[in-house]
Amino acid sequence: MKTLSWNINSLRLRLPQLAVLIADQQPDVLCLQETKVQDGDFPTSFFLEHGYHHLQFAGIKSYNGVAIASRLPISQPQRHDWCQRLDARHVSVTIDGIRLHNLYIPAGGDVPDAAVNDKFAHKLQFYAELADWFAAQPKPLPPTLLVGDLNVAPLPDDVWNHKQLLNVVCHTPVEVAAYDKLQQASGLVDAVRHLTPPPTKLFSWWSYRAQDWQASNRGRRIDHAWLSPDLLSRLHSATILVQQRGSTQPSDHVPVVVQLTK
């Protein structure tokens, strides 16, 4: 099973790029974040035309939104809502015996202080509730793949400059601690870092503000794929498609692709 996860940053705007990615990568499953489309306006026909007949999505107007599109049958579709908000950030399904979670965790705004920044407080609460939910699940979990924009770059080698970003949202110690707590509660393993450990620097996001994203390369790895330990023996590859950032009218994120063998 080949899964491509991408914060597409407006699904309808980037359907041409998605079509190219599908032709090039031929993923069995697409997991998209920040689709920015209400459920009634979801471009179902596009996915059907490309062979993705099994869909699970949650959307709201202009913001957020997550979607799973699969060429393989899905079961047990579920929409998860956290922090008492219906803000379309988490859907899950089962595909070929694997429980697949697709997440778009809040970015957290600009000020890393929950006391003065409601967006940052929301992010930490979201992480805490999700960690508590995973901790309460019967163990071991079923075979599980969790993907998405988790909006935290946890390791020093997941950012362009560790020291300069310690007080910048996405790399602060309090966010990394929340990320670590969720990972520990779930028992899941970082698939990308399992195959490409530090000190190799890896990024999945580059700001639109950079005149030349490639030359400055001030990136962050905030898009992730986690696996349950029982799937590690099936992990064939886990790659970040950096070249996608240089496409026409790109998202500021690039896809993460995970391939599992039978």
State the alpha helices, DSSP H only, in 189-253.
Answer: 191-195, 213-216
Can you state the percent helix, strand and coil of the chain, rounding each to 5?
Answer: 30, 25, 45
Per-residue DSSP letter, 262: -
3-state secondary structure of 23: helix
- What is the pLDDT of the chain when averaged over all its residues? 97
The residue to which tokens 């080949």 are assigned: 2
Give the separation between CA 123 and CA 23, rounded to whole angstroms.
35
47-235-171-223 Cα dihedral, nearest 10 degrees: -10
> How many Cβ atoms are within 10 Å of 13's Cβ, its own excluded?
13
Within 13 A of 15's CA, how many CA atoms are on the CB side? 12
- Read off the pLDDT of residues 162-173 as tens digits, 9 standing for 90 and up: 999 999 999 999
What pLDDT score was predicted for residue 74? Answer: 98
Mean local confidence (pLDDT), 137-150: 97
Q: Does residue 225 carry a pLDDT above 90?
A: yes
Does 199 sit behind a cis peptide bond, omega within 30 degrees of 0 on the bond before it?
yes
pTM above 0.95, yes or no: yes
Q: Which residue has the tokens 């793949």?
A: 145
pLDDT band at 257 (very low <50, low <70, confident <90, very high): very high
pLDDT at 32: 98
Q: What are the pLDDT digits (tens) for 18-44?
A: 999 999 999 999 999 999 999 999 999
pLDDT at 3: 98
Give CA–CA dist 144/126, Å, rounded: 20
Residue 230 CB neighbour total at 10 angstroms: 12
Cβ pair 235, 260 in contact under 8 A: yes
pLDDT above 90: residue 75: yes
- In contact, 253 and 6? CB cutoff 8 Å: yes
Helices 118-136/173-186 angle, 10° precision: 20
153: which 2 tokens? 């770059």
Half-sphere exposure of 83 (CA within 13 A, CB side): 18
Kindly state the average pLDDT of the residues 242-260: 96
What domains appear along the chain, each with residue ranges and CATH number? 2-260 (3.60.10.10)
Does 210 have pLDDT greater than 90? no
Half-sphere exposure of 96 (CA within 13 A, CB side): 13
Token pair in block for residue 211: 């005149």
By DSSP bridging, strand 2-7 and strand 29-33 are parallel
Residue 85's pLDDT is what?
96
pLDDT tens digit string along 186-199?
Answer: 999 999 999 999 99
